[in-house]
Amino acid sequence: MSASARNIPVHKSPLVVEPTGSHKTTMIVLHGRGSTAERFAEPFLASLVSEAAASNVAERANAVFQDYFPNTKFVYPTAPLRRAVAFNRSLTHQWFDKWSPQHPELKQHLQVPGLRETSTYLHGLIQQEIDIIGAPHVALVGLSQGCASSLIATLLWRGEPFGAVVGMCGYLPFRASMVDVVDEADDEDNPFAETKGDANGVTERETEESETNTKSEKAIAWLHTELEMDKEDVHIEPPPIQSIPIFMGHGTEDPLIPCEHGRQAVEFLRAIDADIEWNEYEGLDHWYSADMLRDIIDFIKRRTGWESTTLTKSGDIIGVEDQRES
């Protein structure tokens, strides 16, 4: 199907915040529904971080998020304007259409075009940065619907595993459907399931092929079909998502996307062997906090080997230790 036939929205050029030092790493950061790169970028970068925000970082009362990443380029794409069915088809910036954040399983078909288009778009941004600085030095970050889009794009990613994924107050679209696909294949009581030693005409080769079809492969193949994505190189073992560390944080008082939706996403991703860390923040609503940003910084520095910056209490950079592997 051609792009014109699918009426793919046009993405404007991302907002790029250049590093204050030399460019060694890149974060691609996605806003939530109804926002834009311009509205989200500056407050995020200028947000205060709890003291002792990461290993090898001195305590500093007024440190902001960008201070910890002087060699990081921040890429902020803006979601295109799409018709929101839940808002009487009014135009709003959203990565995909959705009926209800509180009930993600309702009218899931609304999500399909946007998630397909957004995944393809994000894959292009990720590959562009990989071509510049290498896969280990690229991270994908998203808030709310930006988190949901990041998780789907990472599930569908077939390239070299990149540095990390960070999700804030988000969820996993189609989670329940993928759970059903995985559980159905593992259900011993399922009369249609193929089992080793089945004497009902299943050949040895068919049995071997079914055994190599892991939970993650089943879920990813289903997602490719549901989103009508190109199936080329779907079966990559192990799938890249199993080699990309993922951080998810959620406020316990989130009224828009209940914290339970984040927990369920983590439970499923762990079931398909994703490497994921989960943090809950008492009293936090649908946003990030100084404590969450502290934990994100610690996660990225600890899991990716990105260089660690030491800050004085006055804010000066007094030392940089490059921990990246050659």
* 56 CB-near residues (< 8 Å, 6+ apart): 301, 308, 309, 310, 321
88 is a domain residue: yes
Span 149-183, pLDDT tens digits: 999 999 999 999 999 999 999 999 999 999 999 88
199 is a domain residue: no
Closest CA to 29 of 261, 281, 300: 300
**DSSP code at position 306:** P
Answer whether 50's CB lies under 8 Å from 293's CB.
Answer: yes
Cis peptide before 9 (omega within 30 of 0): no
250 is a domain residue: yes
* 229 CB-near residues (< 8 Å, 6+ apart): 116, 119, 120, 156, 223
Confidence of residue 74 (pLDDT cuts 50, 70, 90): very high
Tell me what percent of the residues of the chain surpass a pLDDT of 90: 64
Residue 96 has pLDDT above 90, yes or no: yes
SS3 of 244-305: CCEEEEEECCCCCCCHHHHHHHHHHHHHCCCCEEEEEECCCCCCCCHHHHHHHHHHHHHHHC
Span 199-236, pLDDT tens digits: 344 333 333 334 447 899 999 999 999 998 876 655 66
H helices present in 134-258, as ranges: 145-156, 175-186, 204-212, 215-226
* 103 exposure class (CB count in 10 Å sphere: 0-12, 13-18, 19+): exposed
Helix (H, G, I), strand (E, B) or coil at 83: strand
Average pLDDT, the chain: 83
Residue 281: per-residue pLDDT = 98
pTM of the model: 0.83
56 is a domain residue: yes
50 is a domain residue: yes
For residue 262, give its domain range.
Answer: 3-175+232-321
Give the residue with greater pLDDT, 261 vs 195.
Answer: 261
Answer whether 281's CB lies under 8 Å from 249's CB.
Answer: yes
Give the residue with greater pLDDT, 204 vs 314.
Answer: 314
For 53-57, 111-115, 205-209, 270-274, which range has the lowest pLDDT when averaged over its residues?
Answer: 205-209
Span 247-305, pLDDT tens digits: 999 999 999 999 999 999 999 999 999 999 999 999 999 999 999 999 999 999 999 98
Which token pair is 31?
């806003």
Residue 206: per-residue pLDDT = 38
CATH of the domain at 298: 3.40.50.1820
Produce one character per residue of 27-38: b if its CB has 16 or more CB atoms within 10 Å, e if not. bbbbbbbebebe
Give the residue with greater pLDDT, 25 vs 309.
Answer: 25
Check the CA dihedral 135-141-146-147 and report its sign: positive
Confidence of residue 99 (pLDDT cuts 50, 70, 90): low
225 is a domain residue: no
Confidence of residue 146 (pLDDT cuts 50, 70, 90): very high
- Cα-based torsion angle of the residue sequence 249, 254, 258, 264 in order, rounded to the nearest 10 degrees: 10
Residue range 191-206: average pLDDT? 38
For 42-46, 58-62, 95-99, 246-250, which range has the lowest pLDDT when averaged over its residues?
Answer: 58-62
192 is a domain residue: no
Domain count, the chain: 1
29 is a domain residue: yes
Residue 131 phi, psi dihedral angles, 5° rounding: -65, -25
Residue 197: per-residue pLDDT = 38
Residue 6 has pLDDT above 70, yes or no: no
